[in-house]
Structure 1
Amino acid sequence: MLILDCPCCGVRGEETEFAAGGEAHLKRFGPGSTDDQFHDYLFMKENPKGVHLERWRHANGCGKWFLAARNTVTMEVYGTYSAQTTEPPQEIKDKISAKVPGWSWREFS
């Protein structure tokens, strides 16, 4: 079972208190995008074995969205952070790198 900390209200709870919202840090395309760009946004999601950055909502609490870095194999949560950020905080990146040597994350924009 996952234990997550909501960075918005500070509540620590089991995953049943939260609702998963898919991959974090997706690049969204506006009305002028091509069909291929829109297709990739909708359907080409990462589903890694290992470290994954995800969106979560505190469904049974404050109701706000936040982001979490976790390992899909070990179920370890490296940290949670605000949904308004464009990339994970450096402390979470450092924690991931310490636990999973050689892991690299994509460039966020």
Structure 2
Amino acid sequence: MLLIKCPWCGERAESEFAAGGEAGIVRPVNPESLSDEAWGDYLFMRQNKRGLQHEQWQHIHGCRRWFTVYRDTVSYAFQEVAESVREGGAA
């Protein structure tokens, strides 16, 4: 079983968490001015790189808070965990 360290609750089983995808995606300031291609890129295009990736996770069966991690996509090892300002739902 994989253990993930929640910044607020400590180590818990992976089954208590949900992955929220790549972290650091910034919503465009004026989305109505984007072309369909640019809007599609914002919504769907992600790096999905091999190796260390910055991701966001939510402790869904615990404190329900969001946090960011650096996770190695090859070994699945969590390298660093940080608190996030995002709480209570999708951005």
1: distance between equivalents of 2:53 and 2:76? 10
Alignment coverage as a number of residue pairs: 84
Match of 1:93 in 2: none
- TM normalised by structure 2 equals 0.80
Q: What is the letter of the counterpart of residue 47 of structure 1?
A: N
Q: What is the letter of the counterpart of residue 61 of structure 1?
A: G
- TM normalised by structure 1 equals 0.68
Q: What is the letter of the counterpart of residue 10 of structure 1?
A: C
Q: What is the letter of the counterpart of residue 22 of structure 1?
A: G
Question: What is the correspondence of 1:9-88 to structure 2 with a 5 Å cutoff?
Answer: 9-30=8-29, 31-35=31-35, 36-84=37-85
Tell me the percent identity: 39
CA, structure 1 residues 32+62, in 2 after alignment: closer, same or farther (shift >3 Å)?
same
Q: 1:79 Cα shift?
A: 1.3
Detail structure 1 runs of 4+ shifted over 2 Å in the superposition. Answer: 30-33
Superposed CA RMSD in Å reads: 1.8
Q: Any stretches of 5+ residues in structure 2 without a counterpart?
A: 87-91
Q: Comparing both structures, which one devotes a greater share of its residues to strand? A: 2
Q: Any stretches of 5+ residues in structure 1 without a counterpart?
A: 86-109
